[in-house]
Structure 1
Amino acid sequence: MNVSSTKEKNILQFLIKHKERFVTSKELAEHLSCSDRTVRNTLKLIDQTMNVQGVKLISKQGQGYQLFFENQEAYQEFRLTYELGEVYSTTSISKGDDRLAFILNKLLFEQVPVLFDDLADELYVSRSTLSHDFKKIRRMLSEYDLSIESRANKGVYVSGEERYKRCFIMDYFLSNQFFKTLHCHVQSNFFDQTLSLEEIARIVLEECQDAKLKLSDFVLQNLVVHIALAIVRIKSGFEIKNLSCQMSNNDTERKVAKKILARISEVSNQEFPVQEIDYITLHLLAKSQLSQETQTKISKEEMKRSLVQTFQALGLDDIYHFSSDFQLFEGLITHLMTLQIRLDSRITLNNPLVDEVKKNYSDIFFMTKEILENMETFSQVSISDDEIAYVSLHFLAAIERRKENDKFSVLAICASGFGAAQMLRNRLEAEFGNRLEVVDVIGYYELNQEKIQGIDFIVSAVDLSNLYFQVPVFTVSVFLKNDEIAQIREAMDQMQVSNHTKSSQINRSASDVKRYFSKDNFLIWFNQDKKSLLSNMADVLSEGESYNFKDSLLHGIQQREELSSVVFSEKIAVPHPIQALGTEVKIAVAICKDPLLWDDQNSNVQLVFLLSPSIYGNEGLTDVTKRIVSLTEKEDLQNQLIACNNFEDFMKIFENVT
C-alpha cells in the first residue's frame, strides 16, 4: 500500500484518532474539505492495498468506516509501516503543553535522573498537578509500547524499546507547531523533495542517540531547518564561509556532524563543503555549555532576560504573550546563541526563504527586525535580512501555535469517570473538536476545586445543580443529543475563553479590516505641527475610554518613539503606545495634505496610522499592520490615499492593499 499522498495519510490519521468508533464518509469529507465520492474511492484503494497482518478496514452500511487492530503489536506495526504519527501534539494537548514538553524533554533527551519532587519545584506546581501531567504522559507513551517507571536514586524514566522512543520523539516533537508552520506556510516544493524535514530529523536523532549525545528538541528543530536550507543554498550556488573558531576533530559533536552529513549526502546526492560540518557541530554544542573555543559573550539567562525586556518594551506581550511561551523561548534562544557566534565571526548565512518571508509575512519580518534592533545584545551590530527571515520563522510558529491553543478548556463529568465517560468525551470531540479541548474526564467523586482551575465550562452527565461553580455547567446525556449540542454551541458563541482573553481568529477579508476604522476617527490634516496632530488623533480615540486615556496614550506614544522610529517609510508613520491601554482596538488615520516634519530624519510624512491596541487581545490587528507594511512598498497606492478627501474613498483603496 502506498500512502504517500496527503489525502490517504490524513484519512488514516483521522481513522486512527477515532479508532474506537465508526467514522462516516461525510465526516471524513468535511475533515478533508473534499467530496463524499473522493473519500469513498480513496478508502476503497486503501482497503485493496492494505497488507499489514492483524489490521482490517471495516465498513458498515449506515455506520461508516473503522480501523480494527487485533492487538497492540499490529497497531504499532501499522503506524511504523505507513509512517503515521500520533495526534497528541495537535489535539489532545494544548493548555499545559509547555509543561508536558518540558517534562518529556527531560525524560527523553537529557538522560539524567528526574526526581518527582525536584520536578515539581522546578515547574512551580503541586505534586497533584504533576501527577495529573504524568497521567497524560503515560497515556501518550502507552500508544508506543512505552511506560513510565520509577526507581530509587534513578527517579522517573521512560522504559521501552529505543526504536519506539525515537518514533515517539519524531511524532511528538517534530509534529510541533514549528514544523507545521513550515509545511503550511512555505511553498510545498521549496525544500528538497528527495529528503523531507522529518527524514532529516530522523537521521540527526539516530546519530546523536547512537553516540549518546544529549540533544533537546529545540536544538533538533533548529538543526533540521539549517540542514534543509543548506541543501537549497548549496544547490543555488551560495558558498558558506569558514568559522573563525575551529572545533577539534576529536570532539564527539564533530564526529556526529560528519556522520549526519555523510548519510544526508548519500540520500540527497548532495556534496557538502567541509565548513558545513563546523556549523552542524555548532548547533550540537548549543545544548551543552559551549566549549572554550566557541564561548559566546552572553549567557543563555542574559539572552532570555534581554528578550523579555524587549517584548515588554515594545508592547508585544500585550498582543502575543511571547514571554510566557516556553517553546518560543527555548527555540529562539538556541538560534540566537549560534547567530551571535556567526556575527562575531562576521559570517552571514544566505537564507533561500528570505524573499518568501518578506513577501508573505512582512508584518512578522518587520516585527522580528524591530525586536533584534532593540535587544541590547544585537543593538550595535548589523543583521542581514537573511538572518532576520530565519529568526522570523520562530515568531510565525509561536503566533500560529497560540491560535491553535485558543480553544475552550472543558471538564467532562460522569458517575465514575469510566465507560460512559469516554463516550461523552468522544461525542464532544466529534462535535466540537475544532473549538474545545476535553482537558479531563472524571467521576463525580473526583470533582474538586483544583480540577476546575483553568476550565472554561463543565459538561456533566450527572446533575450538579446542588453544587455552585464559577464556570458554566451543561447537564447532558452521555450520547449528547441534538438539542444539547445546540445549547452548548450557542453558549460557546457567547462566551470568551478563560480570563476573558480569547482572541478572535484572524479573518483576512476586507470587512474584517474595516471594523477597526471609523469615519469619526478619520482626519484630513493641513497643519504641519506633529504635536497638534497627535493630540487631535488621541482625542477621537478617547471616545468611550477612561477620563485620563488621552494623556496616557500620548505618554505611551512618546515612550515608544524613544525606543526607535515609528516611521515605516518616507511618507508613512505608525505611532502607537508602548503598551495596550484601550478597552477595544481602535485606529485613527490622518491624511496630511502638506508633508509633516516628524523628526530630525523624516520630514515628508503624509499618512499617519495611530494604533490603540486593546488590553483584552489584538490578534485581528495583525492583518492591519501587515497591510500597512505592504503599503510602504507601493508608492502609487500611497499617492492615491494621500489624494483622498473623504473616509469612503480612503477605505476603498486601503481594503484592496495586499
Structure 2
Amino acid sequence: MKPKEKELLSLLYQNQNRFLTGRELAQALHISERTVRSYIRRMEPVITENGGEILAKQGNGYRLLLRRPVQFAVLAGTPGTETTRKTAQTPDSAQERRRYLMQRLLLNGETLQAEETAERLYVSTSTLKKELYQLRGMLDEYGLVFDSSPAGISIHGDETSKRALIMDYFFRSSTFNSIQEYMDHSGYFDDIPTEQLLRMVLDESRQFGIRLSDIMVQNVLLHLALSVKRMQAGLRPEHAVLPPAFEQSSEYQASSAIFRRLSGMTGGEYPAEEVSYLALHLSGKGSWATRQPAQGEHLEQEVKTVLSQLAEDDVMQLDEDPQLVSSLLEHLRPMVVRLMRGLPQKNPLTQDILRDQPDLMKVIRKYFGAMPSLRRYDIDDDEWAYLALHVMAALERQKEKRKLQVLVVCATGYGSSQLLKSRLMKHFSDSLHIVTETGYYEMSDDILQGIDLIISSVNIGPVIFGVPFIHVSVFLGEEDVQNIQRFIDQEKAGPEKKEPAAARPASKSQKEIFDCYFSEEDFRVYKGHPERDQVLSDLVETLACYEKDSFADHMREQIRLRSQMGSLVFSDTIAVPHPAVPLSKVARLALALIPEGMYWNESHPAIRFVFLMSPSYVENRNLPKVTGAIVSLMEEPVLQEQILQEQSFDVFGRILGSLIETA
C-alpha cells in the first residue's frame, strides 16, 4: 500500500466502532473525497484477503468490520505484530513495478527468471507478463527487444540504444524527480555539464560490471560534480588510505576511467585522491563492498528516525519520501567508512550553502548529528553540507507535488510524449508537475492514482471518466496553452459555492444539453436485483437502435476492453460503462435505475445507477458537461434518493439537468 492508503487504513482501524464520512477521511488525509473512494476501491481486495471488510453506507460513510482480527492486525501494523510479506521497498503499483523491471533488466543488464521475479514482486506471472508487454512498445522505439530463453528474460539490442533509453527513462522522465534535475535548477552547478558527467558514470559503471541503482547513479553524479567544483576552487582532498587490493577492484578501475575522460573534457589533471574517493563511493553498492564486513546495519532505521523526528517536531515533512531515504543512505554508507578512517572530504559548496540556507544547516547538524552512527565523530560543515544538498533536493520535489499532478498521453509513442512534455514545461513549469507519460491503451487505475489532469494528444475525453482532461496538439498551439491556463486558474480559484441543485430548476440551456444526450426511450427502471450482464446487454440494445447492425457486438467488446484498463465504477452507487474508443455517429447515454441495488463485483455490491455512455466519433461538444453533471450527482446522495424514489424520467431530467455547468 502507498503511505496515504496506510494512513486511511489506520484511521478506519482506529475507529472501528463508528462510520467515518468521505469528507472526514479526506480532511484528515488532505486529499479529495474522490481520492478517498479510489483508495478504498484499491484497498478492498487486500483488506478482504486479510480478514476485514469495509462497510459503505450511503449518507454515513465507511466503517471497518473485522472477521479475523488477529490476522488483520498484521496488515494494520498493530504493535507487537509484524508482516513478513512485503517490505517498504517492494514496488506497490504497476508504474513502480515497471521501473523496478527496467532498473534490473536495462540499467543493471540482468537476466530475470519470470517465476522468481513475480514472487519477489508479489504478483502472478500473468501480471508480470502484462507489465513486460506494456514496456515492449518503449523498447521498440529504441530498436530493443525482450529476449526470452531458458536462462530467463533479458533486453537484447545495441549498447548505444540501451544507453539512450537509460538516459531518457531514468534521468529525463520527470521534473525534479532526481538529484540531477535539482542540480540543473539549483544555481550551484550552472557551469557543470551534468549530462556529460552522467553519461560517463553510466558508460564506465556498465563497462566494469558495476550494478548501480538509478538513485546511486545520481549520488555518484553529485560526487563527480563536486570533484569538478573542488578542482575549480583549488581544493585537494585528504590522502586516502585504501584497503588492501582495492586498487585492483572494478570500482577503482571504473573511477580511474571516469577521471581520465573527465580530464580530457576539462583539460585538467585530477589528483589521485579524487579517484580514490569516487572509488570508495562506488564501492558503497559495488562488488568490492560485498566482500567486506557489513557496516552501519542500523543506518536505514536511523535515517528514518531522523526524518520522523523532523516531521513530529514540525520542522519539515519528509518522512514519506523513500527517494530521500535511499539517497541519504547511498551517501551515508561511504561517508561513515571515510569517517572511520579519518578521511574528511572538502565540500566546495559549503560557504554557498551556509550563506543561502543557514537555518537548514542548523537543522542538519542538530538532527543528523544525533544519529548513533555519526555522533561519535567530530563532523565539520563540509560533511553536513553534503547531507544538506540531498535534503534541499527533497524539498524541491515536495514543491513539485504541490503543483497539479499531470499525466501526458500520446498516440505515437514515447518520443512524441517527451516532445509534448518539454513544451508543457516551457509554458507551465511553475504550475504543473508531469508525473509520467503513457499511451492510451497503457492507461489503468494504477496510473491514474493521484492524477489531477490528463493532457493528451489523443482525444480521449469522451472515454475517460472521472479525471479532468484537455485535448491538445503534440506541438502545443496557442489555443492549447490558453485552455490549460484557464484550467489552472480555475483550480487555483477553487470550487464555487453553489446552492443545492434541488433548490433550482434546470435552465433552458441546461435542458437543451440534457435533451441532446438522453431520451425517455433510453431510460429503464429495474425491480429487484437484476444481473449486471443483463442490464448492460439491455442498455447496449437500447442504444443500438440508433446505429448500424454491428454496433451491439462492437460495443460489448469495447466495454470489455475498457474494463481491462480500469474500473467502470466511480462511486458506491454509480457505474458508467463506456467503450475504449467512440463507436456512435451521434453521442447518446442510456440509464438504468436499480432502486434495490445490483451486484457489480465484490467491491461494489449495490450499484443503483448504470449510465451507459456511447461517445461519438464525430463530435462530443457538450458531452464533458454531461459527464461533469454525473460526477456532481455522485456527491449528492439526497438527489440520488429523490431520483430512485420517483423513478421518473422527468424528475431525473430536472435534477441532472440542474447539475450541468453551462458557463
* TM-score in terms of structure 1 length: 0.49
* TM-score in terms of structure 2 length: 0.48
